[in-house]
Structure 1
Amino acid sequence: MDRREPLAPHRGLPYAILAIFLSAAAFSPTVHGAAHVADDLQRIASNGRAIVAVGNDVLSRSTDSGKTWEAQKLEKRAALIDVAACADESFVALDFHRQVWTGEAQGTGWRLAEGSMPEDFTPMALACAPDGGFWVVGTYSTVLHSSDRGASWQKTEFGEDAILTTIRFLDADHAVLAGEFGIVARSSDGGASWQMLPPVPDNFYAFDAWFTDTDTGWLTGRGGIILGTRDGGHTWTPESNAAGVPMYGLLSGGHGHLFAVGELGLVQQRGSDGTWRVLPSPTSGSGYLRGGIALPGRSSLIVVGGSGASTPAMVSIEPQGGQ
């Protein structure tokens, strides 16, 4: 059954995801000491030495825990939609134009990888596996893998007319991906093969996934839905979303703390009782948030987004009320 519709705007796909390549906004470089990087940022990653934030023609780094940001020059324009830190501390950024950029441990020295992805493929999300392999998911339920830093790509297809929106590696062997129409798949051999799990009911459209171990994980999706699993994704249980709006990204703050960022610039924290509460944030009430990182040794997050939410922004995550 052909369920395909036009990609932009796609079925429930948040405009926040599409904005970076639909926008005609010009590159807005950042000077040293500026807290504001760009109007629209999509993702952020840290290797413990440097932090990198990406967006439409924007790639900026910070080496002082987000206090100051420095724009990085690229050899050509790029619509960057995701970024990841690898085990060797290098970075990789995903370009909507079916390519990846690689950067050094200090968030500098960015180069465009030689290889291109298939022309009939639209990338949506990126992961850097513990072995250094690059993994990209996107349209036509396609998974791409590069073991040579983007010089060439190998394709796996699930045969579904669906968009895969997120991929995460738990460790060197275990990975999970998810997408629209309730698709969730797992790998226990480092991505060499994938097991399709029972579809999440009601044509669930996943925005992001996060697993703390092979059994315990969460999905965020359309309509502000947050689901949790305790059996590795075979069944899912709804959790209360205090904000009642879509949450586009999940991130760990360490010590078992889980956070979600999303529409209206909101940040939520999951309590030990399974409930979510909205945290005070300078971005609350404006735009959207797409990603974030926790700062090691500090009770704060750095979150990124756009459409009126001035980011990167610092959010306190001091424990409250038994969280």
Structure 2
Amino acid sequence: MIMLSKKFIHIGTPLNLNSRYKTRVFAVFFIIGAIFLPGCEAPLVMDKVSSQLKQPMQRTDFYQAFASNEEIAVLVGTNGVVLTSSDTTTWNRKILNEKPSLLAIDTCPDETFIALSFDNHIWVSSSNGDDWSSIQIDTQEQLMTVDCAPNGEWWVAGGFSTFLRSNDKGLTWQSSSLEEDAVITNLFFLSAHEAVATAEFGMLLVTNDGGRTWTISGFMPDEFYPHAAHFTSTSQGWVGGLNGFIYYTNDSGSTWQQQNADSAAPIYQFENVNGDLFALGDNATVLKFTDNHWKTIQSATAPVYLRASLSFNNNLLVAGGRGMFMKIDPSITALLVNETE
């Protein structure tokens, strides 16, 4: 067991390019597929293949994250895929140069977008979401999450409990670490001063000074790997991960309650839609928090993950592996669209 000490860290020192260690890289793509070999050969139906290739959403896509501004929803994934839509019905498809594997995306206060790729690049777009350029971040640690703070600062975090921030749109970066061998998996600002981060081994980090100082405020049970987190304040939040449990805290992680759920699927994302909280998981599972219980509204229907989610135009948008995309009306929990069917 790795013990993590409670400590403070201070953001502000220049990035150290001579870090001696690079953290182990955890899998962030949950790509589940199957190859079926027919018993006999049959002629290919090329018109169906050609038709599929013309669609903006394709079965070879593996979606990872959603973001939006007032006008545009943006969905990103592996192999440089970027999809944009203003109505969530008609989508435009773009493949970025070098086909980066995009892990996360966020919207900045000026309506622009920033995305993080697995090769430690920040990808930047204007508010229309279709003109992207990249900036390399020189660090030996694997970066896993990105967030744009209310003051416009860019934040990334990842291996070896490392935080980096830029206040000049990626020209320079300042870095700090807790010096603990733990991967930071989620980072999000709740206000100009308050932010929350989750990390490997169940670690919860909180800041109340805009990220200049971070405090380890608690540890989740079972030292699991938290993929999903949703916090309404630095005190109250939900966390889910690979063990399929959903934990709740209302005291900044000092204590945790495992909430009842009628699914044991690994949880990869949470989304709040008009006050209703949803969880996305493996095997295309969607849960809704109702009467202190997580109830399945979209049962396991396909051997693919759901990881990207967005509240947009009063709908819940979810996407994941093998081009899976669904639009769900949260008020009646009815499936409206599956673009890949």
Selected match of 1:160 from 158, 180, 192: 180
Q: Secondary structure, in 3 states, of the residue corresponding to 1:224?
A: coil
Q: Quick one: which of 252, 259, 265 aligns to 2:278?
A: 259
Per the TM alignment, residue 214 of structure 1 is displaced from its structure 2 partner at its CA by 3.0
- 1:22 aligned residue: none
Residue 149 of structure 2 aligns to which amino acid in structure 1? A
Q: Equivalences for 1:34-45 in 2 at 5 Å? A: 34-36=56-58, 38-45=60-67
Give deviations 1:107-144, integer Å, cap 9, x for gaps: 1211112x4231x2101111111111111111111111
The answer to whether the 8 A contact 2:153-2:166 is kept is: yes
Query: In 2 relative to 1, CA 37–213 (structure 1 residues): closer, same or farther, beyond 3 Å?
Result: farther
**Cα separation, 1, equivalents of 2:309 and 2:128:** 19
Q: How does 1:1-323 map to 2 (within 5 A)?
A: 7=24, 10=26, 13=27, 15-16=29-30, 34-36=56-58, 38-113=60-135, 115-118=136-139, 120-254=140-274, 256-271=275-290, 273-280=291-298, 284-296=301-313, 298=314, 300-306=315-321, 308=322, 310-319=323-332
Q: Is contact 1:38–1:58 with CA below 8 Å preserved after alignment?
A: no
Q: In structure 2, what residue type is equivalent to 1:107?
A: G
Q: How far 1:260 sits from its partner (Å)?
A: 0.9
Residue by residue, what CA displacement relative to the aligned partner does 1:15-62 show, whole Å, maximum 9, x if unpaired? 51899xxxxxxxxxx988745485211111111211111111233233
**Alignment partner, residue 26 of structure 1:** none
The answer to whether the Cα contact below 8 Å between 2:243 and 2:266 also exists between their aligned partners in 1 is yes
- What is the SS of the residue equivalent to 1:264? helix
Distance in 2, Cα, partners of 1:58 & 1:107: 13
Q: Secondary structure at the match of 1:57?
A: helix
**Highest RCO, 1 vs 2 (Cα 8 Å, sep ≥ 6):** 2
2:163 and 2:176 in contact (8 A); partners too:
yes
User: 5+ unaligned residues in a row in structure 1: which ranges?
Assistant: 20-29
Shift of 1:174: 0.6
Q: Which runs of 5+ in 2 are unaligned?
A: 4-20, 34-51, 334-341
Number of aligned positions between the proteins: 298
Structure 2 counterpart of 1:24: none
Say if 2:142 and 2:159, in contact at 8 Å, map to a contact too: yes
Q: Which has the larger radius of gyration?
A: 2
1:312 Cα deviation from its structure 2 partner: 2.7
Give the SS at the match of 1:251.
strand
Structure 1 residue 184, shift from structure 2 partner? 0.7
Segment of structure 1 superposing worse, 57-66 or 204-213? 57-66
User: How far apart are the structure 2 equivalents of 1:125 and 1:289?
Assistant: 17
Report the CA distance shift for 1:5/1:144 in structure 2 as closer, same or farther (over 3 A): closer
Q: 1:267/1:18 Cα in 2 relative to 1: closer, same or farther (>3 Å)?
A: closer
C-alpha contact 1:31 1:69 (8 A) present in aligned 2: no
Q: TM-score, normalised by structure 2?
A: 0.80
Deviation per residue, 1:230-260 (Å, 9 max, x gap): 1122211111122111110111112x21111
Normalising by structure 1, what TM-score? Answer: 0.84
Give, in whole Å, the separation in 1 of the partners of 2:59 and 2:170. Answer: 27
Quickly say closer, same or farther: Cα 1:95–1:35, change in 2 above 3 A. Answer: closer
2:18 maps to none
**Larger helix proportion of the pair:** 2
Q: Quick one: distance in 2 between partners of 1:240 and 1:193?
A: 34
Which letter does structure 2 place at the counterpart of 1:77?
A: K
Pick the structure with more strand per residue: 2
Q: Distance in 2 between matches of 1:222 and 1:241?
A: 14
